[in-house]
Chains A and B, each alone.
Chain A
Amino acid sequence: MAQILKGETGDWEIVIGMEVHAQITANSKLFSGASTDFGGAPNTHVSLVDAAMPGMLPVLNEMCVEQAVRTGLGLNAQINLHSEFERKNYFYPDLPQGYQISQYLHPIVGKGEIEIDLPDGSVKKIGITRLHLEQDAGKSIHDQHPTKSYVDLNRSGCALMEIVSEPDIRDADEACAYLAKLRMILRYLGTCDGNMEEGSMRADVNVSVRRPGAALGTRCEIKNVNSLKAVQMAIDYEARRQIEIIEGNGAIVQETRLWDPAKGETRSMRSKEDAHDYRYFPDPDLLPLELKHDWVGQIKETLPELPDQKKHRFMLSYGLSAYDSSVLIAEKVRADYYETVAQGCDAKLAANWVINELLGILNKDGKAITESPIGAANLGQLIARISDSTISGKIAKDVFAEMYATGQTADSIIEGKGLKQVTDTGAIEKIVDEVIAENPDNVAAYKSGKDKLFGFFVGQVMKKSQGKANPDMVNDLLKKKL
């Protein structure tokens, strides 16, 4: 449900569109052979092309083209077989060319659509306007010197995909869900690592407000929104700011604003008078990019199963709830882990164990599932031992803790510690008899109608068997004997 904001003079609706810059996973840059590795010493991953030395010519990286097409297909979007590179002109010290090579009138990917999952469990479609290829800029550091800025061009020339959404997003929750789903799709496709902290995925948010159902209001573009939390806070702040201005009989000025996470506010970055006039024109160093239909078809055939497809398959073939499925598919490695676990045991039980036990403890220890001390097949073995009554669910939790601590297999721990469930009627009967003999008072009380004491007897038997007696058999035998 889209959120409605109450103003002084009535209801307001927020309209949001997102521009996401995603760094393409590739070894080398969009137009040069320098490395894209993050964290190198300053200006070491820079070729003379990236430094814009006179006479250097850009040569397009075919892997980056393939990744953009792959992403377009993953966004259910139209692939444009003809696209063009243009120069976007502006001056900034971390942009040595004085222009960014980008795509403008003819992007490589056109209209598409993705589904987002909202907190209330519903699903909404968000339109994709376009995806285009462009160069990243370098990095300026402003806080090392009172009057100087330091520039590192390592990131200059890395390939970015700018992914623009339609203004279909209606509140901060939807914006976060969109960003989360987009990140998931990119990671499944292997076209961007989605690491927001390292800046390989960055979002600009366009926000405007209007009376519900009215025509679109004037929007402001908010930059520097680099985490899900920042998206949430920036949208809430900006919508309130705009409503206050309009209700005070003011008008919204179309402008670029900067999100300041320290102050929790947006502020104007550039006034309208110096709004950028980018003077786009086709880059004379690059011919138009022509793709072959068959080549696009080949990439389509190598697409992995995408998050939504996987979610629906988990619900159908494993009988899992929508919620459990969406938790399991959030990361591809997690989904793969789950499927390996579920191969050897009950699928629903496997989902419970992976979500509640494994993810619980990994989360607590700040570990990724790839760092789990318990291998997937091993966890499957443990769950199979519950299903085949070798151990009880309660003992299984102890075994799980032991597996997590030592990395040993379930069977070797069950064997080594003698945890195998006792299902021998004679053995259980013997313990039951002992417990009855040791507690004559309670037996009498139970027989005179204190039914609640049954639990006491079960507890005593389980204790004497060190938790190994089969609980169902204990119940049956006690009922018979008392």
Chain B
Amino acid sequence: MDKATVKKVATLARLAITEAEQEKFATQLGGILKWVEMMGEVNTDNVEPLANVVNIDLKLRPDIVNDGDIRDAVLANAPEALEGFFVVPKVVE
């Protein structure tokens, strides 16, 4: 893991990190990845990926409207709101 990769991942995650931190995280993340790579030593040929260990099916819900109409709760933590909208710094691509 090099500094450039750390910088790119940080940008994608919208994290502002300093030069010094890039160095530090490159070492740390490199160590973590190396450790996880040990998994590669296990032979997984012909083994299906496991999505859960208790063998249950995905639960579905019926198509019923039983939620919503809680605007105040939805907006309660918003730093800024007006007339029912969230208000954020201007974003136009």
Contacts and interface: CB of A to CB of B under 8 A. Distances in A.
A287 B56 contact: yes
Nearest to A288: B51
Interface string A248-286: 000000000010000000000110000001010010001
A60 B70 contact: no
A34 B65 contact: yes
A93 B89 CA distance: 9
B65 A28 contact: yes
A35 B65 contact: yes
A163 B69 CA distance: 31
B36 to A, nearest CB: 14
Contacts of B92: 142, 149
Contact of A60 (B61, B67, B86): B61
B60 A33 contact: no
B8, B64, B71 pick with most chain A CB within 10 angstroms = B71
A287 B58 contact: yes
Contact of A270 (B8, B71, B84, B93): B93
A279 B10 CA distance: 13
B40 interface: no
A42, A65, A147, A287 pick with most chain B CB within 10 angstroms = A42
B62, B63, B82 pick with most chain A CB within 10 angstroms = B63
A150 B82 contact: yes
A123 interface: no
Nearest to A31: B61
Q: State which size class the interface on A falls in.
A: 35 or more
Contacts of B20: none
B56, B67, B71, B84 pick with most chain A CB within 10 angstroms = B67
Interface in A22-37: 26-28, 32-35
Interface string B2-30: 00000010001010000000000000000
Interface stretch (A45-53, A353-361, A446-454, A467-475): A45-53
A282 B67 CA distance: 26
Contacts of A43: 71, 74-75, 84-86
Contacts of A286: 58
Given A65-B60, A91-B14, A46 B85 contact: no
Nearest to A159: B63
A437 interface: no
A44 B73 CA distance: 10
A33, A45, A279 pick with most chain B CB within 10 angstroms = A33
A287 B8 CA distance: 30
Contacts of A34: 65, 67-68
B66 interface: yes
A151 B63 CA distance: 26
Contact of B63 (A28, A51, A141): A28
A460 interface: no
Contacts of B14: 91
Contact of A147 (B12, B70, B74, B89): B89
A84 B58 CA distance: 11
A133 B39 CA distance: 32
A146 B57 CA distance: 50
Contacts of B91: 92-93, 140, 142, 149
21 contacts: A27-B63, A28-B66, A28-B67, A42-B83, A43-B74, A43-B75, A44-B71, A48-B67, A59-B60, A60-B60, A61-B60, A62-B63, A146-B90, A149-B89, A149-B90, A149-B91, A152-B85, A279-B12, A287-B58, A288-B58, A289-B58
Give the 3 A-B CB pairs with smallest separation, nearest first.
Answer: A63-B63, A34-B68, A33-B67
